Amino acid sequence: MKKYTHFSRADIENMDKLERVQFINTVNGFKSANLIGTRDKAGQSNLAIFNSVIHLGSNPALLGFITRPATLDRHTHTNILETGLYTINHVHISMTERAHYTSAKFDKAISEFDSCGLTEEYLEDFTIPYVLESRVKMGMKLEEVIDIEVNGTMMVIGSVQHIYTSKEFIDQDGSLLLDKAGTVAISGLDSYFKTQLESKYPYAKVEEKPIFSKDESRSDQVVYDEGSGNYNASLLPYATDQGAPSIVPSDLTMWKKTGASKISHHLKARYEEIKAQFDEMKSLYSWNEMVYQAKFSFEPVLGETYHLYRDAKEELFLSMIPPNSWKREHLGSFRLNADQIWERLDV
């Protein structure tokens, strides 16, 4: 029998509060990382990170997330009830720290967009801000709020009205290439993880199921000592009365088919990953070359947002004036990092 560390309900309830919070928030595995954007009727924006967004259906397209008890001051929940609209924005590798700090308890009059260095983006006629830095974002309409009586939380259910992303992040079968987009996963309340495609399988059908065998905890009954739980036959001073294990030839046809399928998926995923990295590097180099060749008469500050424009003479120039403040040909928005590399924000 495997040796487990067992936690009873009593053990869990007797844990230190912070230890219990971390333990239970990680025990259900990795979760999605999303920034939910809202705005009240007075125009005050709000942004908060959530790790509870879940898929509820594809037709109609529905997503849900859990919000805390209404007895607490929850700006996201209040704003959604007030306007009936909100946005869901993926969190990516380059923005985890800024996204994380939106969970701090800001006053309602303070926008997390401004405080955490993220940019409001308004698309089409949707009145709620998206996150400019996010590469996968959705405009949502409130459909239903379900009270969860056991702990006083609520499930907010919304229908997807708009989705914005890049074609390069959409696979041939329609699924999103989240690893290519740089979307991260959350464990607990404070740990963020990169994603990488490990395997992708066809739609499961009984008649196409491979032949599986159970993963035995020990490979050879002859050399296993039940008392110590070790493979120690070479140390025994006496012979054993156990018979040798039977050897059954494997199904080579199925083995070859499974192996070929796995290596095909693995190499394709690896190729796509390398190609995406190369394309990203080319794009990064091209944009940095343009920005550094542009005209500007100031020394850029790390972390600040700058905008690249083309004037009437087809010359490039850099400015801190946002594109919605004047009529200029806007090419992109950038932020300078510590390595003197310009990171494009509006992709």
pLDDT confidence band for 221 (50 / 70 / 90): very low
Q: What is the pLDDT of residue 42?
A: 92
> pLDDT tens across 99-137, in order?
999 998 888 889 999 999 999 999 999 999 999 999 999
> pLDDT tens across 15-40, in order?
898 888 888 888 888 899 999 999 99
Mean per-residue pLDDT of the chain: 85
Q: What is the pLDDT of residue 246?
A: 46
Give the percent of the chain with pLDDT over 90: 45
Q: Which residues pair with 342 in a beta bridge?
A: 336
Q: What is the pLDDT of residue 162?
A: 96
Range with the lowest mean pLDDT among 147-156, 317-326, 338-347?
338-347
pLDDT greater than 80 at residue 303: yes
Q: What is the pLDDT of residue 71?
A: 56
pLDDT greater than 90 at residue 190: no
Q: What are the structural domains, with CATH classification, of the chain?
A: 9-193 (2.30.110.10), 206-257 (no CATH), 272-344 (no CATH)
Q: What is the pLDDT of residue 41?
A: 93
Angle among Cα 8, 14, 18 to the nearest 5 degrees reads 110
